[in-house]
Amino acid sequence: MSQMIDLQAEFEASGAREVLEALDAELIGLAPVKARIRETAALLLVDRARRSLGLAAQTPTLHMSFTGNPGTGKTTVAQMMAGLLHRLGYVRKGHLVSVTRDDLVGQYIGHTAPKTKEVLKRAMGGVLFIDEAYYLYRPDNERDYGQEAIEILLQVMENNRDDLVVILAGYADRMALFYNSNPGFRSRIAHHIDFPDYGEDELARIGEGMMEAQNYVLSEGAKAALAEYIALRRVQPQFANARSIRNALDRARLRQANRLFSRGGVVEAAALSTIEAEDIRASRVFHGGLETARKGDAA
Give me the residues that bind another protein (CB under 8 A), please.
Answer: 92-93, 95, 117, 120-122, 124-126, 160, 163-164
Select 156 or 222, whichever has its Cβ closest to another protein: 156
- Say if residues 123 and 97 touch (Cβ distance below 8 Å): yes
Q: How far is the CB of 160 from another protein (least distance, A)?
A: 7
**How many whole angstroms separate alpha carbon 152 and alpha carbon 130?**
14
Select 160 or 219, whichever has its Cβ closest to another protein: 160
Q: Which residues contact 36 (CB under 8 A, 6 or more apart)?
A: 191, 193
**H or E stretch including 133?**
none
Alpha carbon separation from 73 to 6, 210, 271 (Å, rounded): 33, 13, 31
- Say if residues 106 and 74 touch (Cβ distance below 8 Å): no
Q: How far is the CB of 82 from another protein (least distance, A)?
A: 11
Helix (H, G, I), strand (E, B) or coil at 295: helix
Q: How far is the CB of 132 from another protein (least distance, A)?
A: 22
Alpha carbon separation from 289 to 174, 181, 241 (Å, rounded): 27, 38, 16
User: Computed from CA positions of residues 152, 153, 154, 160, in that sequence, does the dihedral angle turn out positive or negative?
Assistant: positive
Select 155 or 273, whichever has its Cβ closest to another protein: 155
**How many whole angstroms separate alpha carbon 95 and alpha carbon 54?**
28
Select 70 or 125, whichever has its Cβ closest to another protein: 125
Q: How far is the CB of 157 from another protein (least distance, A)?
A: 14
Q: How far is the CB of 131 from another protein (least distance, A)?
A: 19
Select 97 or 175, whichever has its Cβ closest to another protein: 97
Q: Nearest CA to 166 among 136, 203, 141?
A: 136
Q: How far is the CB of 106 from another protein (least distance, A)?
A: 16
Select 164 or 282, whichever has its Cβ closest to another protein: 164
Q: How many Cα atoms sit within 13 Å of 235 on the Cβ side?
A: 7
Select 125 or 221, whichever has its Cβ closest to another protein: 125
- Say if residues 163 and 124 touch (Cβ distance below 8 Å): yes
